[in-house]
Amino acid sequence: MNISRTGRAVLALSTMACAALGTLVVGVEPADAAASRSAIVAAAEGQLGGSACDPGYYHSCGMEWCAEFARWAWRHGGVTDYAGLNGWAQSFKEYGEDRGTYHSRGSGYTPQPGDAIVFDWDHSSGDSHPIDHVAIVTDVSSSSVTYVGGNQGDPSRVRRSSIPRSSGDLIGFVEPADVSGGRAPVGAAMAYDEGDGTFKTYRWTSDGDRFNRASDYESGAFSLGNVDDRIASGDVNGDGKDDIVMAYQKNDGTFAYYVWRNGNSAAQIWYTSGAFDLDNVAGRLVVDDFNGDGRAEPAMAYDQGDGTMRIFRWLSDGNSFNRTSDYDSGAFSLGAVGNRMAAGDINGDGRADIVMAYQRGDGTFAYYVWRNGNSAAQVWYESGSFNLGNVAGRLVVDDFTGDGKAEPAMAYDQGDGTMRTYRWKSDGTQFNRTADYDSGAFSLGNVGDRMASGDVNGDGRGDIVMAYQRADGTFAYYVWFNGSSAAEVWYTSGAFSLGRVGGRLVLGNW
pLDDT tens, residue by residue, 15-56: 223 222 333 333 334 444 456 788 899 899 999 999 999 998
SS3 500: helix
Q: Average per-residue pLDDT in the chain?
A: 90
Q: What DSSP assignment string belongs to 323-357? A: E---EE-SS--GGGTTT-EEEE-SSSSSS-EEEEE
| Mean pLDDT in residue range 327-337 | 98
Q: Which residues pair with 213 in a beta bridge?
A: 204
φ, ψ of residue 159 to 5 degrees: the values are: -135, 160
Instruction: Give pLDDT tens digits for 273-301.
Output: 999 999 999 999 999 999 888 789 999 99
pLDDT at 192: 99
CA distances from 115 to 99, 172, 217, 222, 306 (A): 14, 10, 33, 42, 50
Residue type, 292: G
Instruction: Give pLDDT tens digits for 367-392.
Output: 999 999 999 999 999 999 999 999 99
> Is 394 a residue whose pLDDT tops 90?
yes
pLDDT at 9: 32
If one counts every other C-beta atom within 10 angstroms of the C-beta of residue 55, the result is: 15
Confidence of residue 123 (pLDDT cuts 50, 70, 90): confident
φ, ψ of residue 134 to 5 degrees: the values are: -140, 145
pTM above 0.85, yes or no: no
Q: How far apart are CA 156 and CA 7, in angstroms?
A: 13
pLDDT at 495: 99
Please, are residues 467 and 477 in contact by the beta-carbon 8 Å criterion? yes
Angle at 504 between CA 500 and CA 508, to 5 degrees: 135
Please, are residues 7 and 120 in contact by the beta-carbon 8 Å criterion? no
The residue among 350, 326, 287, 410 whose CA lies nearest residue 140 is: 350
Q: How far apart are CA 113 and CA 77, in angstroms?
A: 12
| Mean pLDDT in residue range 133-144 | 92
Q: Are strands 199-206 and 217-218 parallel, antiparallel or unpaired?
A: antiparallel
Q: How far apart are CA 137 and CA 111, in angstroms?
A: 8
Please, are residues 469 and 201 in contact by the beta-carbon 8 Å criterion? no
φ, ψ of residue 492 to 5 degrees: the values are: -130, 130
* Backbone CA torsion sign across 241, 507, 321, 165: positive
Least confident of 109-113, 384-388, 391-395, 483-487: 109-113
Q: How far apart are CA 293 and CA 234, in angstroms?
A: 13
Instruction: Give pLDDT tens digits for 247-277.
Output: 999 999 999 999 999 999 999 999 999 999 9
pLDDT at 16: 28
Please, are residues 143 and 350 in contact by the beta-carbon 8 Å criterion? yes
Q: Which residue has the higher pLDDT, 311 or 35?
A: 311
Please, are residues 383 and 365 in contact by the beta-carbon 8 Å criterion? yes
Instruction: Give pLDDT tens digits for 416-458.
Output: 999 999 999 999 999 999 999 999 999 999 999 999 999 998 8
